[in-house]
Amino acid sequence: MKFFVDTADVAAIRELNDLGMVDGVTTNPSLILKSGRNILEVTKEICDMVSGPVSAEVVASEAKEMIAEGLHLAQIAPNIAVKVPLTWDGLTACKALASEGHKVNVTLCFSPAQALLAAKAGASFISPFIGRLDDIHLDGLDLIEDIRVIYDNYDYRTEILAASIRSVNHVIDCAKIGADVVTAPPAIIKAMANHVLTDKGLEQFNSDWAKTGQKIL
């Protein structure tokens, strides 16, 4: 499974990237706002740091403007994936951008029907939002499973990029179902290393080692 980090925080991306934990990055207008930086500047810095796809999102609502914005964003770096919403205009923009060889991440997917349309429009990635479905008392993981079945049935090359990840369990469940990618905040990726029994074991080892009176260095 690929790990994308869902942030525009350059320091957080660098820390994870140095450990080999970053296969790509996703951003959106909310994350750009949180970074407090210019979208073109911070996106370029991220692209220079990360070798994998970096999603940069358009903000227009009509296809013509989305395409223009997408082409502009694609000029930032070769590893840009233009992010468009799953609307009819977004699908139109996806088709146009993909036809010109650009990677496209179709975002805000909430149904298998939407995912099927995105694949047919040539999306490189489909981003189903698990957590937001959970928020309205639907099981977001069911959506990942449905998309996996549909894509496998017809050998679609669009990668399932599980988004709106709220917990470590979300990551593990997506891996079990067969999502190609998860995009998660840095805190969740780092939390995957935590376990109470690991902490307990280290505490015991350190206590016993202290009793030996020895040093390694």
Catalytic residue numbers?
83
For the CA atoms of 149, 104, 3, 76, the dihedral, rounded to the nearest 10 degrees, stands at 170
The answer to whether 171 touches 182, Cβ cutoff 8 Å, is yes
Long-range contacts of 96-100 (CB under 8 A, 24+ apart): 96/63, 96/67, 97/67, 97/70, 97/71, 98/122, 98/123, 98/124, 100/71
Rounded to a whole number of angstroms, the CA Rg of the chain reads 20
Instruction: Measure the CA dihedral 15/31/96/108, to 10°.
Output: 110
Residues found in the chain: 217
Burial class from Cβ neighbours inside 10 Å (0-12, 13-18, 19+) for residue 210 reads exposed
> What does DSSP assign to residue 150?
H
C-alpha span between 135 and 147 (Å, rounded): 20
